[in-house]
Structure 1
Amino acid sequence: MELPPGKIGGAAAWTGADMAARQDWIVTFSPDELAEIDAAIAAHRAAGRQMGEITAESFRLPRLAARLDGVLGELLHGRGFVLLRGFDVSRRTIEEAAIGYLGIGAHLGGFRSQNAKGHLLGHVKDLGLDIRNPKVRYYQTNKELEFHTDSCDIVGLLCLKTAKSGGGSRIVSSVALHDRLLEESPELWRALFNPMPTDRRGEIPPGMLPWFEIPVFNWYQGELSTIYSGQYIRSAQANFPEARRLTEVEIAALARLDALAAEMSLEMEFRPGDMQFIHNHQILHSRTDFEDWPEPERRRHLLRLWLSPKGGRALPPAYAQRYGDITPGNRGGIVVQDTVLRFTLEPA
């Protein structure tokens, strides 16, 4: 296994304290750009197209497209995250908001399935489900999420409605975490390059085990890619006796990674209409727990996209256990036997 020659640094190695003092990661749509989005939504509906037919070519954004190219470059080769602001969801139906969001997302990458049900447009909402059920995903509850990555290149969130309190988005640079761990404890740093069993939470592709084994840190072709879900690593230890047992050093390394992620993270409060996009390979994300409104129509609701850009970085072969095909533009997502790809406007 190849290891980084030392600290990585660069634009991707930021800290939350640094970013909290800046605003350059917030991109506000101009009136002309918003007019382009409105025109593209209207053209999509007038043509009678389905959401599955939305592409960068069909959702024309003559001036905004160039700016989104810059956003994609910042995601893949810069700090790894951006917040797009100014898209008015209050005057739109959920269908209109979804069409606009999908159209913008299509300029950043291809849509990928987010769960075994094949949802290409995800819904982050408390459905009142019991997290003790191994098939329940944490985003379907109001519980705090630990820092983790998703199974795709780019993760997008569009805020439709906010909670009564809480629910803040937290992100942290995994490159900065890598550099900090290397500096303070080379032993713990090295342990995170060991493959670790990770629970699939019941979303098992044909012929695969109910867990996969992959290192948290992966150094490949001169870039660090991070894939991590501590809670699913722990549940693999609890639920699958056949899975390799973690060593004391590995357990300590995961605990230190979690502690540093909380210490070095940036927290942002979404406004309705905000679109957050993060590069999954260099950003861990989480959410604080929240109290929701009692009225169903006011409850916290975010739309989610998993995207795969054609210009994505090369990923190591180990990622095929989780991503399937690791070809840029055609990788990531969750597909199991009988999965049917679909877009839905209702959380399920």
Structure 2
Amino acid sequence: MPLTTGPIGGSAAWVGEDMATQLDWIVAFTPAELTEIDAAIEAHHRAGRAMGEITPETFRLPTLARRLSKVLDDLLEGRGFVLMRGFDVSARSVEDAAIAYLGIGSHLGGFRSQNARGHLLGHVNDLGFDIRNPKVRYYQTNKELEFHTDSCDVVGLLCLKTARAGGGSRIVSSVALHDRMLAETPDLCRALYNPMPTDRRGEVPPGMLPWFEIPVFNWHAGRLSTIYSGQYIRSAQVNFPEARRLSAIEHAALDRLDALASELSLQMDFQPGDMQFIHNHQILHSRTDFEDWPEPEKRRHLLRLWLSPKQARDLPPVFAQRYGDITPGNRGGIVVQDTVLRFTLEPA
């Protein structure tokens, strides 16, 4: 695989310590923008549209759309993340909150399936599943998530309810991680340019192996694109004896990447109504473990979007193993045989 010839730098190479004091990544909705959102929700209901019919044209946001265009540019070309604050979920039904979230998300990219069941609106909460089950994904539990990427261009989260304790969102610049490793441990940095067998957790597209092999670091068309899930790289070594065995230096590279991710990360504690959007190719994300409320109606609940903007960067051909079609605006997500795309308001 092609390697960078030196550090990448730029606005994408931020560190959490700096971002924790700058806070210009928090964007507050204005009263006029909130009025536009409510008007668009009402128009959606009057038209009798289904959630699958939400588009920028059907969910009109004349003023906010211009700001969302700038947000998308900062996601794809700048620091790679934003937190939008001030949307009152307590005053709205879950359905109306989801409609608003989908409408805002539609201005940033097309919706992509987040699991084998074809869910275009994801639910992040503790379903009480046993993580030892090879088909269970960590976001369905209350366990800490290691730093990772998802299978899309842009990841969005809307906080409906917070946990009793914990559950903080952590993000880190993969560009900063790359540059630090290149400076301090160049041999380990180079090892992350090797294709890594990664467990699909039972969500296997037709004709594919139960794992894919893509390098963590990918230098293509003058950009670094990162794809990473250390938990699933390691589980592929356990679950699939026929997958390529990692070398000692590759294991050391993964360990160093995980340690640096914690060191350089930014933690943000969501408030109900917060909308976080991150550029998946230059940001790793994770979550601290959490203790939930005993009452079911109070339990931690986030809505998630996977989005594919038409303005997204070119990706190397090797990403087709995971993304399928790598055409900007029509890539990413998880589709297996018999997947039916759908929106659901119920966690499952």
> Normalising to structure 2: TM-score of the pair?
1.00
| Residue of structure 2 in register with 1:143 after alignment | 143
| Residue of structure 1 in register with 2:262 after alignment | 262
| Residue of structure 2 in register with 1:161 after alignment | 161
Q: Confirm whether residue 213 of structure 1 aligns to residue 226 of structure 2.
A: no
Give the gaps of 5 or more residues in structure 1: none
| Residue of structure 2 in register with 1:195 after alignment | 195
Q: CA–CA distance in 2 between the matches of 1:215 and 1:119?
A: 27
Q: CA–CA distance in 2 between the matches of 1:195 and 1:116?
A: 24
Q: CA–CA distance in 1 between the matches of 2:167 and 2:129?
A: 17
* TM superposition shift of 1:5: 1.5
| Residue of structure 1 in register with 2:321 after alignment | 321
What pairs with 1:1-348 in structure 2 (closer than 5 Å)? 1-348=1-348
Q: CA–CA distance in 2 between the matches of 1:185 and 1:80?
A: 25
SS of residue matched to 2:22: coil
Q: For 1:43-63, what per-residue CA distance to the aligned partner results, in whole angstroms no more than 9, with x for missing partners?
A: 001100000000011100001
* TM superposition shift of 1:179: 0.2
* TM superposition shift of 1:86: 0.4
Q: CA–CA distance in 2 between the matches of 1:23 and 1:146?
A: 24
* TM superposition shift of 1:288: 0.1
Percent identity between matched residues is: 81
Q: For 1:196-219, what per-residue CA distance to the aligned partner results, in whole angstroms no more than 9, with x for missing partners?
A: 100000000000000000000000
* TM superposition shift of 1:121: 0.1
Q: For 1:4-25, what per-residue CA distance to the aligned partner results, in whole angstroms no more than 9, with x for missing partners?
A: 1100000000000000011110
Q: CA–CA distance in 1 between the matches of 2:268 and 2:304?
A: 17
Q: CA–CA distance in 2 between the matches of 1:231 and 1:136?
A: 12
Q: CA–CA distance in 1 between the matches of 2:206 and 2:63?
A: 44
Amino acid at match of 1:246: L
SS of residue matched to 1:83: strand
Q: CA–CA distance in 1 between the matches of 2:113 and 2:43?
A: 26
Amino acid at match of 1:46: R
Q: For 1:270-312, what per-residue CA distance to the aligned partner results, in whole angstroms no more than 9, with x for missing partners?
A: 0000000000000000000000000000000000000000000
Q: For 1:238-291, what per-residue CA distance to the aligned partner results, in whole angstroms no more than 9, with x for missing partners?
A: 010100000000000000000000000000000000000000000000000000
Q: CA–CA distance in 2 between the matches of 1:41 and 1:23?
A: 30
Q: CA–CA distance in 2 between the matches of 1:296 and 1:336?
A: 32
Say what the alpha-carbon RMSD is for the aligned residues: 0.3
Give the gaps of 5 or more residues in structure 2: none
Q: CA–CA distance in 2 between the matches of 1:138 and 1:247?
A: 26
How many residues align? The count is: 348
Superposition misfits of 4+ residues, deviation over 3 angstroms: none
Amino acid at match of 2:278: I
Q: CA–CA distance in 1 between the matches of 2:68 and 2:213?
A: 35
Q: CA–CA distance in 1 between the matches of 2:136 and 2:343?
A: 20
Q: For 1:65-121, what per-residue CA distance to the aligned partner results, in whole angstroms no more than 9, with x for missing partners?
A: 000000000000000000000001001110000000000000000000000000000
Q: CA–CA distance in 2 between the matches of 1:57 and 1:69?
A: 14
SS of residue matched to 2:95: helix
Amino acid at match of 1:282: Q
